[in-house]
Amino acid sequence: MTEQSRDHDLQFLTERRHEIFNGKNQYLAILRGKIKVPTLTDTDDEFDEGVLSFGQFVAHKAQALGLTMRELSSVVQISMDDIIRIYDDVLFPWDLTPVILNKMAQRFNVPLSDFISVVRNHPLLDDSLRARLPQQTIAARTHHTLDANLRKNELIETQISIQRHREIRKRDAFILDLQRNN
């Protein structure tokens, strides 16, 4: 490895250290170009909240108020494990109840409309969707000329696509429920 490429890599890692340590799956998604990296602007110290996932948004707001995960879990009355899963974007916002989101919005002094826009823009990454697939054996009907690995990959891609549509329906229903209860 040349010194120039090492310096380039070091600069990249230094500039993005916050994103790297923000969540397990986020870094891979950033490297693959699936997520736009939140950056600080020159004029202020606020993140561009339009590019944050729900977990990043909650973590950023809690950090801005100086709330620990334990304090946040007691405020919104959910377990620490669920807070960790929210921060890591394993628990999607529509897996929570509207009451929990209302409590977060009140505690963070953020309008519920901001939470709704973050929920609406929450990225549905393939890795997250793959983890949510039901564990079952499925017989797939594919073209007979495909080898076993290609058939398996085709099946997984189909399942991920189906899961993405399920999550979008859940998200849309959740947003309607949030707006109705507001």
Domain ranges of the chain: 3-181
User: Does residue 137 register a pLDDT over 60?
Assistant: no
Report which of residues 136 and 43 the model is more confident about: 136
Q: Are 175 and 119 in contact (CB under 8 A)?
A: yes
CA distance 173 to 122: 14
Q: What is the pTM of this model?
A: 0.59
Residue 7 DSSP SS3: helix
CA distance 26 to 19: 7
User: Does residue 85 register a pLDDT over 60?
Assistant: yes
Q: Are 163 and 133 in contact (CB under 8 A)?
A: yes
CA distance 5 to 8: 5
CA distance 109 to 102: 10
pLDDT digit string (tens) for 2-13? 777 777 777 776
The mean-pLDDT minimum among 26-40, 110-124, 128-142, 156-170 falls in 26-40
